[in-house]
Amino acid sequence: MLKLHFAPNSRAVRILWLLEELELPYELNKMEFHPKDLKSDEHRARHPLGRIPVLDDGDITLWESGAITEYILERHKNGGLKPAVDAPEYPAYLQWFHYCEGMVMPPVNTIVVHTLLLPPDRRDETVLGQARRLLSKALAPVDATLADKDYLVGNFSAADTMLGHSAVMSNRLGCVPDEMENLKAYCARLEARPAFQKADGLK
């Protein structure tokens, strides 16, 4: 059985959400998003940097949420969450699947560090402002592509568990402006999905 090493409010939510959407059986090792768990010798044996998510599948261990997602889809259950290679929407699926880590999450990471993780005396408002502006620019094409569809490539797909999770995080950080109405509505649709609610509700 698949075993997911998980902490709330992290990229691991993407994987738990995917497992729930696919209705795959799994075991969950729930940890705190805190160095006492993540930097423990036990967890560093799974991930040398003490990060999450980590997925165990028998004697296979994987990290990186995108790699884990692709592995689950290919090895365990496509479940209709990935278009066929020859499908018209496949190129867009690939683009948005990878867009989250390439363009959206770098400024999100900076915003989280300078609003939540660092003590107030170490936060840099200049760096924070730059990250917010960069995130706004990165989200604009996502808002535009959602003008005529409910999900990134039409039907719900694993691109939504990847980039959609980043969009929800951005919205919760107050970084999706009201004028991005398509993106706001998209985040609401994702948060209404039962599988998302189960994954997101593990605090």
Q: Which residues pair with 161 in a beta bridge?
A: none
Q: Cβ distance 14 to 69 under 8 Å?
A: yes
Q: Please tell me what DSSP assigns to residue 154.
A: B
Q: Measured between alpha carbons, how far is 33 from 10 in angstroms, rounded to an integer?
A: 8
Query: Do 110 and 36 share a domain, yes or no?
Result: no
Query: Do 96 and 194 share a domain, yes or no?
Result: yes
Measuring CA to CA, how many Å separate 98 from each of 84, 95, 111?
17, 6, 20
Question: Count of alpha carbons within 13 Å of 200, Cβ hemisphere only?
Answer: 16
Q: Answer whether residue 35 is part of any domain.
A: yes
Listed residues 26, 53, 79: the one ending a domain: 79
Q: Answer whether residue 122 is part of any domain.
A: yes
pTM of the model: 0.95
Q: Answer whether residue 164 is part of any domain.
A: yes
Q: Answer whether residue 59 is part of any domain.
A: yes
Is 126 exposed, middle or buried (CB count within 10 Å of its CB: 0-12, 13-18, 19+)?
exposed
Listed residues 29, 50, 79: the one ending a domain: 79
Residue 58 belongs to a domain with what CATH number?
A: 3.40.30.10
What domain range includes position 54?
2-79
Give the number of domains in the chain.
2
Supply the pLDDT for residue 56. Answer: 98
Q: Answer whether residue 85 is part of any domain.
A: no
Query: Do 72 and 124 share a domain, yes or no?
Result: no
Q: Answer whether residue 84 is part of any domain.
A: no
Query: Do 110 and 16 share a domain, yes or no?
Result: no
Query: Do 56 and 132 share a domain, yes or no?
Result: no
Query: Do 56 and 108 share a domain, yes or no?
Result: no
Query: Do 75 and 96 share a domain, yes or no?
Result: no
Query: Do 69 and 123 share a domain, yes or no?
Result: no
Query: Do 117 and 35 share a domain, yes or no?
Result: no
Query: Do 52 and 144 share a domain, yes or no?
Result: no
Listed residues 79, 101, 118: the one ending a domain: 79
- Report mean pLDDT in 10-residue bins for the chain, 203 residues: 95 97 96 92 95 97 97 88 96 98 97 94 97 98 98 97 98 96 98 97 78
What is the four-CA torsion angle of 182, 105, 136, 200, rounded to 10 degrees?
40
